[in-house]
Amino acid sequence: MSGRTTALTPPEDAVPPVRHPDAPAPGEPLGSHYDQCFGCGEEQPHGLRLAATAGEGVSVTATFTVRPAHQGAPGLAHGGVLATALDETLGALQWLLRVIAVTGRLETDFVRPVPVGTELHLEARVTGVHGRKIYSTATGRIGGPDGPVAVRADALFIEVAIDHFIDNGRPEEINAALADPDQVRVARAFEVNP
């Protein structure tokens, strides 16, 4: 970490985020970026199956229902699971920027306990872009989209090329993903920039 700032607010010379002209329209479901993703994958039996929707500007909303498998304390969601839900919601902002990025830093505040059975209403938006660095913030509310904040996070995502995954991922999964036309279509959608 030496030489790196840990700040999660955009620097003064950051630029406002630009919604990609081909980004999904506000209200459109975003789907999963990878069907085995722990956060959003529809084929991932152990995952959160978080469902995100495009918002206005460079923002998204998402919902996630806390299931018994997500407990930390009896009857309450595990903090790491809630951090995952925030991370995944923040990651979904990539659909609107149409860049591929990974989480570099994620700072989470746990404000209220979240019981099993709760539907968590998440909202995330990009606050600024500085070169490859994408600054963003998210909240998770309980009791409805306008309910009290239970969790919140600030994050720094770093833009990467698709090679990041090809070079670092396990060959079994990478080869299966590259052989899947739907997956390749998703990756190409992220890679095309104005």
Q: Are 12 and 18 in contact (CB under 8 A)?
A: no
- Asked if residue 160 binds ligand DCC (CB under 6 A), the reply is yes
Distance in Å, CB of 26 to ligand DCC, minimum: 21
> Between 83 and 116, whose beta carbon lies closer to ligand DCC?
83
Q: Maximum CA pair distance of the chain? A: 49
For residue 151, with 0-12 CB atoms within 10 Å meaning exposed, 13-18 middle and 19 or more buried, which class applies?
Answer: buried
CB of 144 to ligand DCC, least distance (A): 25
Q: Which of residues 12-51 bind ligand DCC (CB under 6 A)?
A: 33, 39
Q: For the CB of residue 143, give the shortest distance to ligand DCC in the complex, in Å.
A: 26
Return the residue nearest ligand DCC (CB atom).
91
Report which of 97, 129, 114 is spatially closest to residue 16, judged by C-alpha positions.
Answer: 129
By the rule CB under 6 A, 188 interacts with ligand DCC: no
Half-sphere exposure of 85 (CA within 13 A, CB side): 32
**CA–CA separation, 172 vs 145, rounded Å?**
39
Name the minimum Å distance from CB 86 to ligand DCC.
10
Q: Which residues contact ligand DCC (rule: CB under 6 A)?
A: 4, 33, 39, 87-88, 91, 94, 100, 102-105, 131-133, 156, 158, 160, 186-187, 190
